[in-house]
Structures are given as structure tokens and as C-alpha cells.
């Protein structure tokens, strides 16, 4: 039956795919936006500290782990029109924020918190949690397959991060970066409307970049109704 479902979540189709989602009913309206899909195989620890926007897919076998669940503050926030790939892992400290139009490939990891390593005389499994740090992914960023983002990292809007990259430091807006450690190789020149190698970039070009608010407004105007990509998010929807 799932093989015949259309890719657009409308009416009865939306009711069908949400009816089997394995999370408490009270979170469906308060924590997940309209027209979004969270696969039943997704594990969420700390639903009251999670927020998912509209038209967003959280793909199968992903894990959203909120480490600090002492109040109702959002610790993992995923915006509108996002696609979180299969087997993504979120381990939040203060906050992991993926802004609107975020796109991640398979096996991406967001490591905002870990275990204390103050003393090897304590088993690490019982050592307690570190304080962690904020991870912020700007509007319309694409993280390809197996990207790892460490705590205290901000990735600027419009940025692409190549496969198997380790991001330990901030990345500027409208950049292309990859590697371990991740390095910027290109930036988008809005003055001449093209990508240029990092060696050609000058600070003067910063003034031609749109602000994040302007950039988001442009995307919403041009791409207001991006439907969730269900077949990429779950094997429940079969094959083409």
C-alpha cells in the first residue's frame, strides 16, 4: 500500500502517515508543525524540549537525544522546510538549532554534549555529562553524507559542507567547505553572482551578501511550498 502513496502530504495521506508515528499523542500538535513527517523508527529522548517546524521530514533511524531535560526550554529545534536524512544523531547541550530549509544527508552527527573526561579513574559511562555547547546551522545549509558537527560551532547561512567532513570551527555564510578538519574552499560572490575560490575573496564582498532575514524572505517568496520528500525519508514509502 505504501508504494502507491503520492509524495505530497495532503488530506487523507497526511492522516495515514502520521497515524502510526510512535510518540505520545500530546506532542503531535505542540511539538511538530503542520505537514511534517517523523518516521516511526525515530527515537526522541526529551520530547518536551524538541521543536520541529512545518513541511519537515525526520528520516528513519534518526535519534534526537536531549541531555538536559530539566524544564520546557527547547534544546533541539528544527525549522520549516527541512529534510533530516536517515540515521542522523543529535546530542544536545544547551541547544542544537537547524534553521529553515536545512538539509542533511545520511549519517550526520551533531555532537553538542558528551561525557565528562576529567579523570580516567571514573568509568566514562558513569562520569556524567559535560556542559556542552550550542550548535547553530543557518538558513538553507546542506550537510552532505556523514558530516560531524562539534559543539560551539555556527555554520552560516547558505553553506554547503562536503561528505565526511568534521566541523570543529565556525563556517562563514555562503561558503563551500569540506575535510577533516573542515576548511572553506569557495564562497559565493553576490557582486558577480558566482562561486569563487577562497583565495579570491575579499572583505569588501561581505557588503553584497543578504542578511539572514533577507535571505529567508527570498526563499519563502520563491519556494514557499516545498513538500516533504517521503520516499527519501523512509523505506515505508517503497520504491520508484
For residue 239, being part of any structural domain is answered with: no
All residues at 6 or more sequence positions from 57 whose CB lies less than 8 Å from its CB, including other chains: 36, 37, 38, 82, 83, 84, 228, 229, 230, 232, 233
- Phi then psi dihedrals of residue 170, to 5 deg: -55, 145
185-213 burial: b if 16+ Cβ within 10 Å, else e: ebbbbeeeeeeeeeeebeeebeeebeebe
For residue 135, being part of any structural domain is answered with: yes
For residue 97, being part of any structural domain is answered with: yes
**What beta strand segments (E) does the chain contain?**
37-38, 43-45, 50-52, 57-58, 63-66, 76-78, 83-84, 89-92, 96-98, 103-104, 109-111, 135-137, 142-143, 148-150, 153-155, 160-161, 166-167, 175-178, 183-189, 194-197
Q: Domain limits at 133?
A: 27-113+124-225
* 51-101 confidence digits (pLDDT tens): 999 999 999 999 999 999 988 899 999 999 999 999 999 999 999 999 999
In the chain, how many domains are there?
A: 1
For residue 40, being part of any structural domain is answered with: yes
Q: Which helix (H) or strand (E) holds 233?
A: helix 230-233
* 130-142 confidence digits (pLDDT tens): 999 999 999 999 9
Q: What pLDDT sits at residue 70?
A: 86
pTM of the model as a whole: 0.89
Q: Choose between 7 and 235: higher pLDDT.
A: 235
Strand duo 37-38 + 89-92: pairing: unpaired
Residue 113 has pLDDT above 50, yes or no: yes
For residue 13, being part of any structural domain is answered with: no
For residue 231, being part of any structural domain is answered with: no
For residue 230, being part of any structural domain is answered with: no
Q: What pLDDT sits at residue 28?
A: 65
Q: What pLDDT sits at residue 229?
A: 84
Q: Give the domain CATH number at 188.
A: 2.160.10.10
* 21-32 confidence digits (pLDDT tens): 555 666 666 799
For residue 178, being part of any structural domain is answered with: yes
Amino acid at each position: 500500500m505504501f508504494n502507491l502513496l503520492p509524495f505530497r502530504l495532503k488530506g487523507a495521506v497526511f492522516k495515514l502517515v502520521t497515524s502510526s508515528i510512535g510518540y505520545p499523542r500530546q506532542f503531535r500538535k505542540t511539538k511538530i508543525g503542520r505537514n511534517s513527517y517523523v518516521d516511526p523508527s525515530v527515537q526522541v529522548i526529551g520530547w518536551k524540549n524538541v521543536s520541529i517546524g512545518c513541511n519537515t521530514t525526520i528520516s528513519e533511524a534518526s535519534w534526537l537525544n536531549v541531555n538536559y531535560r530539566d524544564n520546557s526550554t527547547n534544546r533541539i529545534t528544527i525549522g520549516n522546510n527541512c529534510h533530516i536524512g536517515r540515521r542522523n544523531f543529535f546530542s544536545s547541550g544547551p541547544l542544537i538549532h537547524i534553521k529553515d530549509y536545512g538539509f542533511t544527508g545520511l549519517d550526520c552527527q551533531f555532537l553538542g554534549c558528551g561525557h565528562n573526561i576529567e579523570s580516567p579513574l571514573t568509568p566514562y559511562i558513569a562520569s556524567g555529562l559535560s556542559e556542552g555547547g550550542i550548535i547553530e546551522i543557518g538558513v538553507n545549509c546542506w550537510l552532505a553524507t556523514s558530516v560531524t558537527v562539534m559543539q560551539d560551532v555556527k555554520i552560516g547561512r547558505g553553506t554547503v559542507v562536503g561528505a565526511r567532513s568534521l566541523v570543529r570551527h565556525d563556517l562563514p555564510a555562503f561558503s563551500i567547505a569540506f575535510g577533516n578538519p573542515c576548511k572553506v574552499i569557495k564562497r559565493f560572490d553576490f557582486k558577480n553572482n558566482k562561486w569563487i575560490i577562497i583565495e579570491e575573496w575579499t572583505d569588501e564582498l561581505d557588503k553584497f551578501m543578504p542578511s539572514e532575514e533577507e535571505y529567508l524572505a527570498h526563499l519563502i517568496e520563491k519556494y514557499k511550498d516545498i513538500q516533504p520528500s517521503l520516499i527519501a525519508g523512509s523505506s515505508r514509502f517503497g520504491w520508484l
